[in-house]
Amino acid sequence: MLSDGNKTRTLGETPPEIREQVRKVVMGDAPWPLVMLGAVGAGKTCTALCMLDRVAKSRRYYTAQQFVDDARDADMGRLMRGDYLESIREFWKKWRNYGITCVDEIGSRSSREKVSDHHYEAVKRSIDERHGKPCIWISNLTLQQIAQVYDDRIASRLSEGTHITFTGADRRLKKGTA
């Protein structure tokens, strides 16, 4: 159990059957990438962040839009990391070399439309650069919907790994409110 500001995350909040599927991926009994799909508030991000919490170093969490924005800024020579300007070459080298990565909210901003060319290329390359390495992808969309937003190549690359579908009501909503 680790804390993020005022919020405490624990895998105890994750259903046992999902914890078992996650364990299989982590132990090498199921392939990477780990793709978490399902309803808003079902616990996908919480589960992924619990996994990242357990990695002492060399981890990276992004939303898809943050990742695309950082890739664009690095490509344009304006990605600042503290007081250091990170080049596009360094950006991709770091991405390849993290112990584990997570990209959340795949397709969420554009679930009704196609993504821009830059967005598409950044996401495709991010998947390719992490091929066979620990990487978690999270979306409220199905793989079929991801194929509509991006294309079949992106969906196919994500299909190569282990998929977990989260179900249930939004855990963020208190009982009795909607």
Answer left, alpha or beta for residue 85, where phi above 0 means left and psi between -120 and 50 means alpha: beta
> Which domains are seen in the chain, by residue range?
14-166 (3.40.50.300)
- First-to-last alpha carbon distance for the chain, in angstroms, is 29
Measured in whole angstroms, the distance separating CA 150 from the mean position of its chain's CA atoms is 15
Distance CA 32, CA 127 (A): 11
> Does 3 have pLDDT greater than 50?
no
Residues 6+ apart with CB under 8 A from 161: 25, 31, 32, 33, 34, 35
> Does 177 have pLDDT greater than 90?
no
* Least reliable range by pLDDT among 48-52, 71-75, 168-172, 173-177: 173-177
Token couple for 37: 């799909």
Token couple for 148: 């509509």
pLDDT value of position 24: 94
pLDDT value of position 1: 37
pLDDT value of position 7: 60
Average pLDDT over the chain, rounded to whole?
88
Give the E-state strand segments of the chain in sequence order.
2-4, 7-9, 34-38, 59-63, 79-81, 84-86, 100-104, 135-139, 162-166
> Does 6 have pLDDT greater than 70?
no
> Does 178 have pLDDT greater than 60?
no
What sign for the dihedral angle of Cα 134, 139, 142, 145?
Answer: negative
> Does 169 have pLDDT greater than 80?
no
Question: Per-residue confidence at 109, pLDDT binned at 50, 70, 90?
Answer: low
Question: Is the pLDDT higher at 4 or at 61?
Answer: 61
pLDDT value of position 8: 63
pLDDT tens profile 83-101: 989 999 999 999 999 999 9
Question: Per-residue confidence at 74, pLDDT binned at 50, 70, 90?
Answer: very high
Phi, psi (degrees; rounded to nearest 5) at 62: -140, 155
pLDDT value of position 14: 84
In this prediction the pTM is 0.88
pLDDT (average), residues 40-64: 89
